[in-house]
Amino acid sequence: MSTGKLNQHSTESERELSYHQFLLESGRGDALELIFEGKSKQTVLDKLIQSIESIFTSWHFCVMAIAPDKQSLVPLSAPHVAEDYLRTASNIDISANAGACGEAAFHRNPVYIANLSAHAAWANVNTPLPYETHWAYPIISPDNTLVGTLAILNNEQREPTPQEHALFTYETRTIAMIIERFNNVHRLKKLNAELEQRVNERTAELLESNQLLEKALLQRNTAQTQLIEKEFEVSLHSMLTSLTHEMNTPIGVSVTANSHLQSRVKDINSAFSKGTLSKSLLEQFMSEARESTDIVDRNLGRAAKLITTFKQLSFDQYSDETRPILLVSFVDELLLSINTKLHTHPFTLCIDIDSTLCIETKPAALGQLLFNLILNAIQHGFTPPQQGHIWIRARQERNTLVLSVKDDGCGMNEDTINRMYKPFFTLARQEAGLGLGLHICYNIVSKVLKGEIECISEPNKGAEFLITLPLLSGKKRIPF
């Protein structure tokens, strides 16, 4: 053959090789495109196999996958392989003597059978074989896991050329990556399903736990309500007992003084009837009468004060309708009503309230609250002639009013703070203190105004009462 003919033949071979590479690259690109479109694994592999078969037009290719039992192979993609052959090749054992695919999977190396009819694996097959040659290449994933085999079927009765061997080896790597990708997606979906199931199970457990917690909270609140009611009953019984005791003393003294006065009146009447009433006897009677009436007046006054104070414990008197008030003007008017007590104590009263702060509240309850707190500071915070200060502050925080009544007097210890809201608890029994002022304050704040009261105090460091009240509405315009 001349040199010119050799060069022409070489050029044609190069062109054919380039064309084949173009077809293969196009097939791989089309397969990747199908992956992006979400097509099935079989559809993607069918497209890739068809691109290979477009080069080897008389050959058929088949991708065999590892069966779920991990012990055999099953057809996965075989667009043009004869159906009779596929049925025969289905569920091929992975072993050393199981035909090309089974042996290639077992040894993890290519296996070439040039004459199928003479091979031991096909000796007992009665169906006519449509192919003479069967080559098999193991398909191994990037992590060195066997995922199947590539079967190449033709009638040429030979082994592959080096170029064919290189091409088939490369294609098995492509197929391995495609299968691995779908396997990873499958594992990911399975993990997601398991995760979703665990989340659902955990959610169900949390819902059950929340229901149990809600039930426990309801039971706790019910028990707490019962305890509060029981404590209220005990407190009410204690208060009534204390009130009875407090009332018995002044009334008993008044009855005794009145009885003594009645006895002396009888004596005077008797002396007057007998004509034995002397000046000295009359003067003595007048002195005893004045003393008895003073005793009756003082003790009945104390009893009347007890009754008036006890009436303040009734919430009905604070059931007046709410109305808007300008708080600083309201406090000024309140201070006028206790002006006499302010003048008898040498301390300074400081008011720190925004002049435009307008709130809607129950004035009677709020007035009684501030009145009691101010008198409490006057009576218990300072000992004349001790000088000091009382501050009344108020500020609005969104829908909440924060009131503060603070003094720099003698302060209180922890034991006094813990007991001061109890009825008839007082440290000023000698000064005729009743011990109901702060108890009334607590009831007004918690029951009538639906707020909270807190005391901050230490011995010799004064005391501050912080009251937090929910505002019934926003700012109102005061009608003048």
* pLDDT of the residue at 468: 93
- Give residue 29's identity as a one-letter amino acid code: G
- Give residue 207's identity as a one-letter amino acid code: L
* pLDDT of the residue at 474: 45
Decide which of 350 and 436 is more confident. Answer: 350
pLDDT band at 454 (very low <50, low <70, confident <90, very high): very high
C-alpha 210/C-alpha 218 separation (Å) is: 12
* pLDDT of the residue at 142: 86
**Protein fold of 3-160:** Beta-Lactamase (3.30.450)
Name the percent of the chain lying above pLDDT 90. Answer: 16
- The predicted-structure confidence for 140-185, as pLDDT tens digits, reads as follows 988 898 999 999 988 888 888 888 888 889 989 999 998 888 888 8
The full set of domain ranges for the chain reads 3-160, 223-311, 317-470
The H or E element that residue 104 is part of is helix 99-107
How far, in whole angstroms, is CA 135 from its chain's centroid? 65
CATH class of 317-470: alpha beta
> How many DSSP H helices and E strands does the chain contain?
11, 13
Q: Residue 417: pLDDT above 80?
A: yes
* pLDDT of the residue at 121: 65
Helix/strand/coil for 407: strand
Nearest to 150 by CA among 117, 172, 128: 172
Decide which of 336 and 297 is more confident. Answer: 297
Average pLDDT (119-145) is 78
C-alpha 352/C-alpha 449 separation (Å) is: 22
Tell me the pTM: 0.45
Nearest to 85 by CA among 67, 97, 100, 107: 100
Average pLDDT (53-79) is 88
Integer-rounded Cα Rg, in Å, for the chain is 53
Decide which of 47 and 6 is more confident. Answer: 47
Average pLDDT (429-434) is 53
- The predicted-structure confidence for 214-253, as pLDDT tens digits, reads as follows 888 888 878 766 765 665 565 556 556 656 766 777 888 8
C-alpha 247/C-alpha 313 separation (Å) is: 16
Largest CA distance in the chain: 185
CA distances from 223 to 213, 214, 229 (A): 15, 14, 10
Range with top average pLDDT, 17-31, 136-150, 314-328, 332-346: 136-150
* pLDDT of the residue at 237: 62
Nearest to 149 by CA among 90, 50, 73, 86: 73
Nearest to 75 by CA among 31, 106, 41: 41
| Helix, strand, coil shares, percent, the chain, to 5 | 55, 15, 25
